Structure 1
Amino acid sequence: MKELSEKDIERFAEKVRETNNYKVLKDAIMANGINGATLNNNAIVALPTVFSEEVETGKVANQMKSGRCWIFAALNTFRHRITAKLNIKDFELSQTYMMFWDKLEKSNFFLESILKTLDEPLEERLLSWLLTHPQQDGGQWDMLVSLVNKYGVIPKQAMPETYQSSNSPELNSILDAKLRVCSLELRRMHNEGKVDNELQAAKTEMMGNIYKILVYLLGEPPKIFDFEYRDEKGKFHRETTLTPQGFFEKYVGINLDEYVSVINAPTKDKPFGKTYTVQFLGNVVNGRPLKYLNVDMKILKGLAVEQIKDGETVWFGSDVARYSDRKAGVLDPDLYDYEAAFETPFNLTKAERLDYKESMLTHAMVLTGVNIVNGEPNRWKVENSWGEEVGNKGYFVMSDKWMDEYTYQVVVNKKYLSKDLVKAFNQEPIELKPWDPMGSLAIIN
């Protein structure tokens, strides 16, 4: 290995000082930050907030200081149906209710994973990966489906936000600490020769403690509740003794088995037209397994456009931190000119960004509109879950170029898939390692 010499460093410094407008650029970036100094206002002007195809939605929700974007995005697609059906505004489903069951199920999933890997050395990559984050806020569409199928949904009024649901770092810290203690105890019992039924009994006792922690932090989920609301005409409505499953069936009324995840991961190891799943990734044991169909980006966008045109919003996953401006509510690769500022290229392809850990799915939002010009989309309307203080009252505009480069997944009804795509989706999925980029979870807040 060769160290940097004083001569090398002096040559670097001389080259920087020879840069055109060196002092102006340095002072501007130091004073305003790299994004503030390189913001391209033309990119903002080029993305007006009107769309040829748009689904009417309402006030955006706010996930606060938590990584529940995937839950918020999914429940937003449900509430769009409810508000249209019942003619009500500003209605939300309980994100805390879904969070409670997700945390409980993820904890059980983690401990089951520990039981499956009792003979794995601690220093091996798999155990290291499992123990790094025993559970966390992030998730995927299929994980949401597993929760809804088992537990249903409820209105927010039946289980509102708590301090810890809106501020999840402390919750995650205490749960992870307890789960690591549990994993140590299970492995110790295994080394002492305890048999499977003894290990399962111990795990069940451990899950009782996890349940208690969650009740204290998030409240106890109701089994039966009343639903009261006043519609836009002022008429009062009340329905009593609803169950969460009954509420979903009556007020959402969709078959979640008809919705599938379509991804665009253009890497050499993931041919298009194949399906994929991820080892050791999930929440509900024996729930719906993760399954993705990998397709060309043009196909992915076409499926999203068809669903929006039919009046239904689209859950999607992307890398929201790349070339985005929260204040303006703009997502566009031309938003910041880093290359001009530093006079050096940042020109990885989408596949190379995935392969070299530069990008992955980090955040879930909802597509609520698209602008079509000469049969092709040029911008998209996005409902976020960061409250009304960002973007246009919480809504973002995404350029089609950003869609191509940083969107990785959409969830659409199977009816929009061609016969060939349906056949491809029905294939047995190829298993990916837990640390594969397509095993990343929507978690950014």
Structure 2
Amino acid sequence: MDLVQTSSSAGALSPDDLRGFQSAFDNDPAYRAAMNAVTTTTVTQVALNRRKAALVNHSFSVHLPENPATSQKSSGRCWMFAALNTFRTKAQQVMNMEAGFEFSQNYILFWDKLEKANYFLENILATLDEPEGSRLLDWLMVAPQNDGGQWDMFVNLIQKYGVVPKSVMPETESSSSTGRMADFVTTKLREYACRLRGAHRSGASEGDLREQKQGYMTEVYRMLCIHLGEPPSRFQWQWRDKDRVFHRAGALTPQEFYAKYVGVDLSEMVCLIHDPRPGHDFNRAFTVKFLGNVVGGRPTEYLNVELDVIKQAAIKQLQAGDSVWFGCDVGKHLHKDLGVMDLDLYDFDLVYGTTPAMSKAERLMYGQSLMTHAMVFTGVDLSDEGRPSKWRVENSWSAEPGDKGFFQMTDRWFDEYTYEVVVSKNHVPGDSLRALEAAPVELEPWDPMGSLA
């Protein structure tokens, strides 16, 4: 091709530069072969390490009893599904039920959406003098109705609203595909923010603004009922157990149902994170400004610890018979159909002649990675010396991918892309837990540790 000089500015690509790029590409037949392959099929198919894929084995030395995989469908509710899935086995044991019982994810979704709307409007009232165009105000406007969440946000919902069986508040079209509902509610919330700020500029009193906000929340509640149905305040519960014995519990509130058939003391759970960035000390608690869902609820708090502390706590919990909620960057080095997360699964270096080489801390600092998905550990494969080699993962993407909806994660993948686990405090060393006695370090709202699964 003919190359014409178009600029003499420092840093501009010159014709000599372009000829050099072209020559380097044309002179290596491997690059031409890669081009021929990738222009006709996906790069992940071309780069898949077939030898590695053939070695996938779904046996684990520690493997908890499992339920059929759930499906969040076209929604961002993985954190709810994962958290509720950690309760399923316990409820089934208490009620002597067959595997397959589910809690209503739609019920939790309803209250999360309502509480998030209220949380957003309270944040607007708290920042009325923030100028338009400020980074904080722009950040608040990005996603007032995000489907995602964090563990402490789930705890807030359970403690306030309890749980119900899925049969009591089943899925709707909008709970399974939240996009249109979230878009409309988000549109209204941004409008409400505009009106509240405008009223403030016009001299409205705090009482006037709160009365205005109350009217807005009435509208949000109405919209959520239209999309998701009305959540029950009390319901009749009865079932037949796996021995064919009939049980009738009578009328229960969702809070009573949780206390009677789940009963997990959520105050005894702690969210451990692995954040190796400089200045983010281990054995230190962190929180994120403006991150939450329930006004007056439990703040989102993380305990930053060394990677081995996280692993050993998760292993101890699995060995004790309890599954582990965790958050990770699921899309990296993932083969969805195989249900495998493995750093060696793709030979991208053979395709591109280069491979990513940033550290975990560098990926966090430069926007290359953060927590994107929550799932549940239900097993781990330990060596004779007790070191993990791979982890069994319950996902919420239906029973189609992986091993009937269950995935596996290599331990090396865990090192690089797992960011948090939720475990009982009695599995965490005392010197780490003592960090919770001090006030947590506050991170900015846009910090990657504020990402929602």
Question: Shorter chain as normaliser: what TM range?
Answer: over 0.9
Contact in 2 for aligned 1:47/1:379 (Cα 8 Å): no
- The match for 2:204 is 194
Secondary structure of the residue that 2:272 maps to in structure 1?
strand
Letter in 2 for 1:72: F
Report how far residue 111 of structure 1 moved: 0.4
Q: Give the corresponding residue for 2:6.
A: none
Q: Which runs of 5+ in 2 are unaligned?
A: 1-9
Q: For the residues of structure 2 that align with 1:138 and 1:43, how far apart are their CA atoms?
A: 33
Q: Which residue is equivalent to 2:88?
A: 79
Q: For 1:145-184, what aligned pairs fall within 5 Å after superposition?
A: 145-184=155-194
The amino acid across from 1:380 in the alignment is W
Q: Which amino acid aligns with 2:85?
A: N
Counterpart check, 1:67 vs 2:70: no
The CA deviation at 1:72 is 0.2
Whole-Å Cα distance in 2 between the matches of residues 243 and 42 of structure 1?
54
The corresponding residue for 1:38 is 47
Aligned residues: 442
How far 1:299 sits from its partner (Å)? 0.8
- CA contact 1:55–1:311 (8 Å) conserved in 2: yes
Under a length normalisation based on structure 2, what TM-score does the superposition of the two structures give? Answer: 0.96
**1:388 has 2:399 as partner:** yes
1:131 is the counterpart of 2:141: yes
Deviations 1:304-326 (A, max 9, x none): 00000000000000000000011
Kindly provide the amino acid, as one letter, of the partner of residue 311 in structure 1.
G
Equivalent position amino acid for 2:393 in 1: V
1:197 Cα deviation from its structure 2 partner: 1.1
* 2:313 counterpart of 1:303: yes
Tell me if structure 1 keeps the 8 A contact 2:66–2:99.
Answer: no
Distance 2:14 2:240 in 1: 73
In the alignment, residue 183 of structure 2 is paired with which amino acid? Answer: S
- Contact 1:153–1:244, Cα closer than 8 Å, also in 2: yes
1:338 corresponds in structure 2 to 348
The alpha-carbon deviation at position 275 of structure 1 amounts to 0.4
1:427 alignment counterpart:
438
State whether structure 2 residue 22 is matched by structure 1 residue 29.
Answer: no
CA distance in 2, matches of 1:79, 1:426: 32
**C-alpha distance in 1 between matches for 2:367 and 2:182:** 25
Task: Give the structure 1 partner of residue 248 of structure 2.
Answer: 238
Deviation at 1:31, TM superposition (A): 2.1
Shift of 1:46: 3.9
Structure-1 residue corresponding to 2:287? 277
8 Å contact from structure 1 (residues 47, 399) kept in 2: no
2:4 aligns with none
Question: What's the secondary structure of 1:176's corresponding residue?
Answer: helix
Runs of 4 or more consecutive aligned structure 1 residues displaced over 4 Å after TM superposition: none
**What SS does the aligned partner of 1:28 have?**
helix
Partner residue in 1 for 2:422: 411
Please give the alpha-carbon distance, in whole angstroms, between the structure 2 residues aligned to 1:69 and 1:6.
50
More deviation, 3-12/53-62: 3-12
Deviation at 1:426, TM superposition (A): 2.4
Residues in 2 aligned to 1:52 and 1:201: alpha-carbon distance in whole angstroms: 59
* One-letter amino acid matched to 2:218: G
Could you tell me which of 343, 356, 361 is aligned with 2:366? Answer: 356
Contact 1:367 1:380 in 2 (8 A): yes
Q: Measure, in 1, the Cα distance between the counterparts of 2:203 and 2:37.
A: 65
Q: CA deviation at 1:16?
A: 1.2
Q: Could you say what secondary structure the match of 1:123 adopts?
A: coil
Do the aligned partners of 1:93 and 1:155 also contact (CA within 8 Å) in 2? Answer: yes
Superposed displacement of residue 4, structure 1: 2.3
1:261 is paired with a residue whose SS is strand
Distance 1:8 1:227 in 2: 73
In structure 2, relative to structure 1, the CA distance for the partners of 1:302 and 1:38 (3 Å cut) is: same
Aligned to 2:270: 260
Name the Cα RMSD after superposition.
1.1
TM-score by length of 1: 0.97
Letter in 2 for 1:18: N
Query: 1:378: how far off?
Result: 0.4
Kept in 1, the 8 Å contact 2:31–2:351? The answer is no
| Structure 1 residue 340: Cα displacement | 2.4
1:330-357 deviations in Å (ceiling 9; x for gaps): 0011111212211123100001010111
The amino acid that maps onto 2:62 is: E
1:378 aligns to 2:389 (yes or no): yes
Q: 1:345 to 1:236 in 2, by over 3 A?
A: same
| One-letter amino acid of the structure 2 residue matched with residue 417 of structure 1 | V
Which residue of 1 is the match for residue 447 of structure 2? 436
CA offset digits 1:277-311 (Å, max 9, x no partner):
00001000010101100011111000000000000
| Partner of residue 90, structure 1 | 100
Matched, 1:328 2:366: no
Aligned residue number for residue 8 of structure 1:
17
**Percent of aligned pairs with the same residue?**
45
Aligned-partner Cα distance in 1 for 2:74–2:280:
34
Secondary structure at 1:158 match in 2? coil
- 8 Å contact kept, 2:395–2:406: yes
CA distance in 1, matches of 2:153, 2:324: 17
AA paired with 1:394? Answer: G
Q: Which has the larger radius of gyration?
A: 2
Q: Is the 8 A contact 2:313 2:428 kept in 1?
A: yes
Secondary structure at 1:353 match in 2: helix
Aligned partners of 1:6, 1:103: CA distance in 2, in Å?
A: 56
3-state SS of 1:21 partner: helix
Give 3-state SS (helix, strand or coil) of 2:276's partner: coil
Residue 27 (structure 1) shift = 1.9
